[in-house]
Structure 1
Amino acid sequence: MAAGGLLTAPPASAHTTLVAAKPAKGAKVASPAQIKLTFAEAVRFPGIVLLDAKGGHHEAGKAHASGATVTAQVAGVLPPGVYRVGWRVVSGDGHPVTGDYRFTVVGSAASAPAAAASAPASDGSTDDSPAPAAVTPSSTPAAQHTSSGSSTGWWWIGLGALMVVAAVIGAELFRKRRLSGS
């Protein structure tokens, strides 16, 4: 009965949302040195992927969260083209939140000033569904069929988030049983 209630319960409205991104959604910028995402509340366990049109990764190392801000370094100078930022965080209520957006690099960092300004990213989703299996930044048929194993990182992030949620729930149940038994 409890499982049925959980499966049919409406999603909580307390999940965080992406409120700003640098580079911004749809921006045309010089090659950025980092991706900076700002959420409506503090987040944990961040993950950011930066993919080119062929599905190649361009993030350098792991993303880091500091309160409501998540940053990830970009690996080198990005050549001109369309890039997709895919992200996954765990909100303060313990639910994973995912989303993605695109921006365009119009030149290298050496040839043009950075034009990225923080702006609302209105397409950040706040669902409890697993992260996409593969994030490809182009809508061309050739790019839609390209998969370079980008789903592996999302599976590990998702698995880690599930393990953390399970540990928190288990600890809370243990604490409640202990308090009611004494």
Structure 2
Amino acid sequence: MRFLPRHLRTTALAALSCALFLTFPASPAFAHDALKRSSPAKNAELSSLKEVELEYSAGVKFPFVVLHDTAGKEVALGKPELDGPLVAAEVPQPLAPGAYVIAWRVVSSDGHPIEGEIPFSVKGSSPAPSPTGGAVDVATLAAEPSAAAGEAQAAAPGVPAWIWGGLAVLVVVGAFVLLRTGRRRPDRGEADAD
């Protein structure tokens, strides 16, 4: 790099440093908390449910937990109780056989809200009544995944978009700097000096 002018070396080193910073994922200290465990587990088949338990990777605040059946009707839950990383909400009445989705939202220990959904089903020997009044096979309801749960799975963790955006900006700026400095010929600098 000795053959490059000093300002170009400085620019190249700054661009390289930024590229390295953006290439490596954030350490856990900079990442949002995550759901470690839930009861019921995702896609579990239960015979009954008395309490919803959600355990996070760190202490959370302002828990919000809602239970819906496949028709979107909300099922009453007790007030969510918070104990550090653990959130628990009582299910006061027995659940009818069928498919359900737990929707949760908490404020992460870093102050950012996080949310998710947990589909599960309750087994039963009799068919569950449908919203139209007829009987629906419980196996059919349990087999139908929630559209919202599918969207939550589609947003799997990976490289955040801001990292790709930052790399794209660095590539454009680097290309601009190289093209601009590449157009300057050594003989032009001597001609300007005269």
TM norm structure 1 = 0.51
Equivalents in 1 of 2:92, 2:73: separation in Å?
11
Number of the residue aligned with 1:36:
53
Alignment of 1:110-129 (within 5 A): none
Equivalents in 2 of 1:98, 1:138: separation in Å?
16
Number of the residue aligned with 2:115:
98
Number of the residue aligned with 1:67:
84
> What is the identity percentage for the equivalent residue pairs of Structure 1 and Structure 2?
43
Q: Report if the CA contact (8 A) 1:59-1:73 is conserved.
A: no
Choose 1 or 2 for highest CA Rg.
Answer: 2
Please state how far the C-alpha of 1:39 moved relative to its aligned partner.
Answer: 0.4
- Indicate the structure whose relative CO is greater, using CA pairs within 8 Å and at least 6 residues apart: 1
Structure 1 or 2: larger helix share?
Answer: 2
Residue 19 to residue 13, structure 1, CA distance change in 2 (3 Å): same
Q: Report if the CA contact (8 A) 2:66-2:77 is conserved.
A: no
What amino acid sits opposite 1:15 in the alignment? H
Deviates more, 1:54-63 or 1:13-22: 54-63
Instruction: For structure 2, list consecutive stretches of 5 or more residues without a partner in the other structure.
Output: 1-24, 126-144, 148-194
Alignment of 1:2-41 (within 5 A): 13-41=30-58
Q: 2:101 aligns with which of 66, 84, 91?
A: 84
Instruction: For structure 1, list consecutive stretches of 5 or more residues without a partner in the other structure.
Output: 1-9, 109-136, 140-182
Equivalents in 1 of 2:44, 2:30: separation in Å?
29
What amino acid sits opposite 1:84 in the alignment? V
Please state how far the C-alpha of 1:59 moved relative to its aligned partner.
Answer: 3.2
In structure 2, the residue corresponding to 1:61 is in which secondary structure? Answer: coil
In structure 2, the residue corresponding to 1:48 is in which secondary structure? Answer: strand
- Provide the alpha-carbon RMSD of the alignment: 2.2
